[in-house]
Amino acid sequence: MTNFMYLLKQEVEVQLHVLEKEEVLLSKAQRAILLLKNVFERLKEFTGSYVFKDDAEEIGFFKEDKPWLLCNLIYYQEMYNMEMNRPTGGDNELRKFFTGELSYIKGFFDRNKELYRYYRAKDTYMDKCYFLRGKPGISPDSDDLYFERDPRFSSPCDFKVAKILANDKIEVYLTEQLDKLDHKIPVSDRSGMLWTASKADLTELIYSNYLLQSINGGKITLKEMQRKAESIFNIDLGNLSRTLYDLGMRNNPTQFLDKLRKALGDYLNSNLNK
């Protein structure tokens, strides 16, 4: 088990590191979810035929190894859900949304204070009850993932431990988002230009320049480009990842760029033919 888990963790760490370079959050989350679900299917298959040598090895698996992997899947699933449900309104709506998500995390903590304290303190006196399979008396969470319903692959508390670890990561993300809202560029520092086409049109322009690396030789992040465009054109683009996802669902995802090309082409052809 030790060698199998070591190699599996190494594989996941390498692939997640590569995925973290993807700046479109929805795309990154989708790919991470597919990766981690595949990993868990492999882990479930391995565990189904593996016999733990003793209680200590089984406890170690359900207390440390499985939650480490599972927390990443929970994290990316929550990130995906938040991005899909993220409001397209102004700052106040976003602030309410992020604050509500933080309240949900606090609610989970309040419902599981005992386990939080037990796990954080690295206590062991309840390990046999919490992290061995087939122990009665502790009901599963209603939001357990599909593979958590298999008693051969789950202990009473490994999912909750994974949720604790995932919530730590989600809380960092939510706090960062609220901090960004609190440190937006003041209106007095913005230009006098207004973007009068649609947000989707500007998203096409930003993302195509990002992919072409036509600004700073590519040494600029997508988020930085978004903030600069918002400042220059006095517009709140909101969830750029969601807008990009919506563009990809259109019959013609580059209709604004096509209009730009046609407008310039028509102008040049008209003037050159004079």
Contact 50, 44 (CB under 8 A): no
pLDDT at 138: 56
pLDDT at 137: 47
Q: Which residues contact 144 (CB under 8 A, 6 or more apart)?
A: 154, 159
Mean pLDDT, rounded, of the chain: 85
Q: Above pLDDT 70, what percent of the chain?
A: 91
Residue 110 vs residue 179, higher pLDDT: 110
pLDDT at 146: 45
For the entire predicted model, the pTM comes to 0.69
Contact 182, 91 (CB under 8 A): no
* pLDDT at residue 26 is higher than 70: yes
Q: Where are the domains of the chain?
A: 1-183, 199-272
pLDDT at 35: 94
State the average pLDDT over residues 260-267.
Answer: 89
Write out pLDDT tens, residues 113-164. Answer: 999 899 988 899 999 999 998 866 455 454 555 445 677 888 999 999 999 9
Contact 80, 30 (CB under 8 A): yes
Q: Can you say whether the dihedral through the CA atoms of 166, 169, 175, 178 is positive or negative? A: negative
Question: In which band, very low, low, confident or very high, does the pLDDT at 274 lie, cut at 50, 70 and 90?
Answer: low
Of the given ranges (3-17, 48-62, 134-148, 196-210), which has the lowest mean pLDDT? 134-148
State the average pLDDT over residues 230-234.
Answer: 84
CA distance 261 to 113: 59
pLDDT at 186: 55
CA distances from 262 to 142, 257, 266, 271 (A): 54, 9, 6, 14
Residue 206 tokens, joined: 């930003």
Residue 11 vs residue 151, higher pLDDT: 11
State the average pLDDT over residues 73-77.
Answer: 94
State the average pLDDT over residues 256-270.
Answer: 89
Residue 4 vs residue 141, higher pLDDT: 4
pLDDT at 227: 83
Q: State which amino acid sits at residue 164.
A: I
Residue entry with tokens 């220059």: 232
Write out pLDDT tens, residues 165-182. Answer: 999 899 988 888 888 787
